[in-house]
Amino acid sequence: MRLTQSGHESSPRWSPDSRWIAFLSERRAPAGKGRESDDSKEDDSKGVAQLYLISPDGGEAFPVTEGEEEVHAVAWSADAKTLYFATRTPWNKEQKDDYKKIWKDTLQYRAAERGDTIYSLDLAHAIDLHAAGGTRETPKAEKESNTTLSANAIASTPWRVQQLEAAPDGRRLAFVTTSVSQRQEKLEEFEIYSVELAQASPQTPPHQLTHNEAFEQELTWANDSRHLFFAVQQGSVEGKYRDFQERL
């Protein structure tokens, strides 16, 4: 059964209780948030990738995030009550104005590159906000915000988050990083980290789990939450960088 029609969907993730499918979509956002980033000129035919929910039984998909920065990684908590997602760290109005003043209409990708912020989003609250969308008054701060105000920032990294995975026991969140430019330039940009969710804060650096010359991917927690599996396609976990056959 086909659930969506826009043609701009990606990265579907089933909720552990099978009640929802979370996915990323570049479908056109309503006027205001998520329209166009100040440091890039987007194709006007589509919007910025945001996090959506849809029931597997059908119905209309609805967004649970909004903002000028795209969502590019998402994970469910094991109890299906929380969604975790990552975006490039948003700039405030002063930072954006300073950037435009310096560069004007010139695209300066290096100057705009920056790391990610990881957020948690309470599912019940997000659904309530969606249900009240046509009746509640939008606060001025929310109208001017570049982020999803109902989400809580729990971690930050100087790199781009490629994948998020929550531990089955709900205590930790693991993620693997890649280059903010999405180019393979420095091996140190490609590592695995974990966040202790009970003490999570953007001011607390995530715990780095790997220190090697490999490109890690495909994170999977063991059922006991004590081990984290990953695959390596390039590089080496034992020594200097080298190419070999893909392995777990």
Percent of the chain topping pLDDT 90 = 48
**Do 74 and 87 form a contact (C-beta atoms < 8 A)?**
no
Q: What is the dihedral of CA 195, 174, 29, 114, to 10 degrees?
A: 70
pTM of the shown model: 0.81
| Nearest alpha carbon to residue 189 among 205, 172, 176 | 176
End-to-end CA distance of the chain: 34
- Residue ranges of the alpha helices (H) in the chain? 93-103, 109-112, 123-131, 140-144
| Nearest alpha carbon to residue 215 among 194, 239, 240, 187 | 187
pLDDT surpasses 80 at 218: yes
pLDDT surpasses 70 at 78: yes
pLDDT of 38 reads 43
**Residues in a beta bridge with 223:** none
Q: What is the mean pLDDT of residues 132-151?
A: 63
pLDDT tens track for 189-207: 999 999 999 999 999 999 9
Higher pLDDT residue, 43 or 27?
27
pLDDT surpasses 80 at 177: yes
**Do 84 and 120 form a contact (C-beta atoms < 8 A)?**
yes
pLDDT surpasses 60 at 77: yes
Kindly state the DSSP code that residue 54 receives in the 8-state scheme. E
How far is residue 134 CA from its own chain's centroid?
A: 27
pLDDT of 246 reads 56
pLDDT surpasses 80 at 66: yes
Structure tokens at 98: 């300073």
